[in-house]
Structure 1
Amino acid sequence: MAVSDDHKLQEAIDTLRDSGVRITPQRHAVLEYLLNSMIHPTADDIYKALEGKFPNMSVATVYNNLRVLRQIGLVRELTYGDSSSRFDYKSSEHYHIICEECGKIVDFHYPTLDEVESLAEQVTGFDVSHHRMEIYGKCDECQQVETQKH
């Protein structure tokens, strides 16, 4: 693990501590897994990855921990129309590009579109809290599979 990941994990643990949330070994493991995961895992993915380390942990425990981490603002729940939510450690602001074939989600870094929020407020009179942008397409792997079919 890189130094920056250790630093991010320590910051996240400090945030938990400051929020008065108990830092259980399971909670620590869920947070660490999310921080190192590039796949935007589902709760099930997290459960499967950690069940060897925590044989007594249930899927419900994972969901409960994710809920707590989300409420504190450390984790973002991504719901993109498919059946199960995916989870993302909320580090720097970023957008997501989603494969329409396999559902893979990849981080896409771009300066946040704050001017869109300002414009939306001016035009509608709304008090805008946030925005979300998704980009859809077909990932490399799915493109290659399609090419092989032809």
Structure 2
Amino acid sequence: MIKILFVITSLLLAINLPARSEQANSLMEEHSRYIIEKAGDKYAGMWISDDNSTITLALTSNIDADKNVLKKFHIKYVQYSLLELESFQNSVLRRQFPEHIYIYETYINQKKNRVVIKAKCENFEKLKKLLKQRKIDLDKIFFENQDGPLNLFNPIDDGRFER
């Protein structure tokens, strides 16, 4: 009986998921410009939950916005604004380490409210030491393992390869 209920519930969720996803996307499209404008430098991001049931609005502090609009979002207060993280990523990480041997990629993870540095996990401590030496705030960084650099393109065949 429990197995049957589980299967039925799973099927109902699967059927309902696209509709909820469409509703969440529509809500974000409808209000995102207004929210970003009202939040200004307090805006830290917005995302749809994995199950498409809620939209999270990340802010660094309260904003003066229509309460009826804000009620539609799950508000999460975070430490850093999106502008602050973008500035940190561009002015600190990308300028000081444009092609560093240990860093494969950087990006902003709004859910974690951090700038992510992708590198081999065996190099995390070396990177942390280097960043500390340059007096870079490690609190804004989340390290994520990546086994090597990504190559999104096939090598160019210049005729040297045997077929």
Quickly name the TM-score band, shorter chain normalised.
under 0.3
Higher Rg of the two aligned structures: 2
**RCO higher in structure (CA 8 A, sep ≥6):** 1
TM superposition score normalised by structure 2:
0.26
Q: Which protein is richer in strand relative to its size?
A: 2
